[in-house]
Amino acid sequence: MVNMTKAIIFLWGIALLFCSIINVSRSLPAPGNDVKVIDVRKYYHKPTQEEIEYDDEYVPGSYHDAFAEAWDVACRKTTGPVKILVPKGKFLLPPIMFSGPCISAKPIVFEVEGTIIAPTNPSLYPNAEWITFADLDSLVLNGNGVFDGQGGVVDPETKASAWGVNDCKTNKNCVPPSSNLRFERVQNSIVTGITSLNSKWFHYHVFMCNNFTATDLHIIAPKDSPNTDGMHLSESTLVNVANTVIETGDDCISIGQGCTNVNIHNVICGPGHGISVGSLGKERTDKSVVGVTVTDCTFINTTNGARIKTWIGKGHGEAKNIIFDNLIMNNVKNPVVIDQSYGSKKKRAPSTSLWKISDTHFRRIRGTTTSSVAVSLQCSSKNPCEGVEVSDIDLTYVGPSKTVALTSSCANAMAKFGGKLTTGACQ
Ligand SMILES: *[C@@H]1O[C@H](CO)[C@@H](O)[C@H](O)[C@H]1NC(C)=O
Ligand SMILES: *[C@@H]1O[C@H](CO)[C@@H](O)[C@H](O)[C@H]1NC(C)=O
């Protein structure tokens, strides 16, 4: 009997030991040496005189080939976990595309600790892209590094900067310069930590992506830099942008045609033109935008806060299921805007836009504004807005005039006003 008990205790002990070994091995992080780290510097070689002479596109100091080869090894020649590392330092990088599909284990990690610098010479850019990530599943782009588009830097050869020659405000057929980072058909991916500086055009262009998360980013350009949208989204679904600081010359975030399920949370925007749904309907083929939330954001010195803009334009479409909630306005010119005659030369031109805006909510918006019309809802006469709610707008005027009563202005808005309204309601 005693022996039997001893045997049971012994077996029990072995079983416990086993369990704890299994548990320990489960809870251990993957050892660092499991991940193959591919340092881009390893693939750099100084070009020979011959290579320089025979390369029409030779750019002195370019890391193009080093990055391209590092990507090729990581994406197409590695089957296990892999990380591309751009270490501290400066890397001049002409336009490049990092495309999949990859055979490496998911996710493929691209870590940037250094500063990646865009050339200033426009002839090096075959199209409006600088760095493109395309056709990828499970990309992680992270690090504390910087993508410097050099938008304001004068090119020694052309004697102009990308911003300097940008005439897109007046020239309909202007050729746009490059975005800093373009993501195209990228899914289940995360971009975090990095800084985008002085892009020539959009900082981020997210196109046809699905399940794309951007967090803890810093986006910086001067307030007068042209078309430097912080992040422009189009034809993308399930996009999350959070904990991000955007100081730029155009919209901090613009949610373009064909987007669904976009969630923007805790973004600090300013200077800039605010967070916009649109502009929509400039092209006949523009698709609807459904499901946008913009919550817990702060706007500082921006021209707009929460905005929806559609062109009088040609095609049909809808913008619906949109929530702006809990926003702080700090010195913002137009805190709440629906503009259905966007792009029209006349200010507040009556709209005949074929786009329909519905199920849209502006809630809990507080702070300061510099113009008297703090809520402006200018909807289409052909397609009046439907289900627009404006509630708890607690703004005070801090503009140039002495005392100004804040107002709300509406056309075809059919809006329901409620809660505390320092701007008054439209009748
Ligand atoms: C989105 O992508 C992340 C990162 O790869 C993944 O963890 C998550 O499960 C994905 N979500 C959906 C809904 O597919
Ligand atoms: C906002 O504008 C005010 C007045 O022009 C300026 O003093 C302040 O520094 C600006 N704030 C930011 C964060 O840019």
| Across 100-116, average pLDDT | 98
pLDDT of residue 12: 52
Distance 374 CA to ligand 2 centre (A): 19
pLDDT of residue 332: 98
| Substitution candidate for ligand 1 out of 133, 211, 212 with most atoms within 8 A of CB | 211
| Across 393-408, average pLDDT | 92
The per-residue b/e assignment along 143-177, b for 16 or more CB within 10 angstroms, e otherwise, is bebbbbbbbbbebeeeeebbbeebeeeeeeeeeeb
**Residue 217 CB neighbour total at 10 angstroms:** 22
pLDDT of residue 309: 97
Whether 273 is catalytic is yes
Closest ligand (CA of 398):
2
* Lowest mean pLDDT across 59-63, 251-255, 348-352, 390-394: 348-352
Structure tokens at 136: 């990828």
List C-alpha distances in Å: 198 to 20, 118, 178, 267, 398.
53, 10, 11, 19, 30
Of the pLDDT bands very low, low, confident and very high (cuts 50, 70, 90), residue 3 is: low
Of the pLDDT bands very low, low, confident and very high (cuts 50, 70, 90), residue 6 is: low
| Across 25-31, average pLDDT | 45
**What is the DSSP secondary-structure string of 100-150?**
----SPSSEEEEE-SEEE--S-GGG-SSSEEEEEEEEESEEEESS-EEE--
Would residue 259 be called left, alpha or beta, if left means φ above 0 and alpha means ψ between -120 and 50 degrees?
beta
Distance 169 CA to ligand 2 centre (A): 25
* Among candidate residues 371, 361, 374, 363, the one with its CA nearest the CA of residue 422: 374
pLDDT of residue 228: 98
Whether 232 is catalytic is no
Q: pLDDT for 147-197, tens place per residue?
A: 999 999 999 999 999 999 999 888 888 889 999 999 999 999 999 999 999
Q: pLDDT for 236-288, tens place per residue?
A: 999 999 999 999 999 999 999 999 999 999 999 999 999 999 999 999 999 99
pLDDT of residue 2: 46
- Whole-prediction pTM: 0.91
Query: ω into residue 60 within 30 of 0, thus cis?
Result: no
Of the pLDDT bands very low, low, confident and very high (cuts 50, 70, 90), residue 88 is: very high
What letter represents residue 104's amino acid?
A: S
Of the pLDDT bands very low, low, confident and very high (cuts 50, 70, 90), residue 4 is: low
In the DSSP assignment, the letter for residue 349 is P
CA-proximal residue: ligand 2, atom 1 (nearest)? 301
Answer yes or no: is the C-beta of 188 below 6 A from any ligand 1 atom: yes
Rounded to the nearest angstrom, the gap between the alpha carbon of residue 230 and the centroid of all alpha carbons in its chain is 6
High-pLDDT (> 70) share of the chain, %: 91
Q: Which residues line ligand 2 (CB under 6 A)?
A: 271, 300-301, 331
Distance 301 CA to ligand 2 centre (A): 6
In the DSSP assignment, the letter for residue 425 is -
Place of tokens 């980072």: 181
Of the pLDDT bands very low, low, confident and very high (cuts 50, 70, 90), residue 1 is: very low
Of the pLDDT bands very low, low, confident and very high (cuts 50, 70, 90), residue 21 is: very low
Query: Do residues 281 and 353 touch, judged by C-beta distance below 8 A?
Result: yes
pLDDT of residue 51: 85
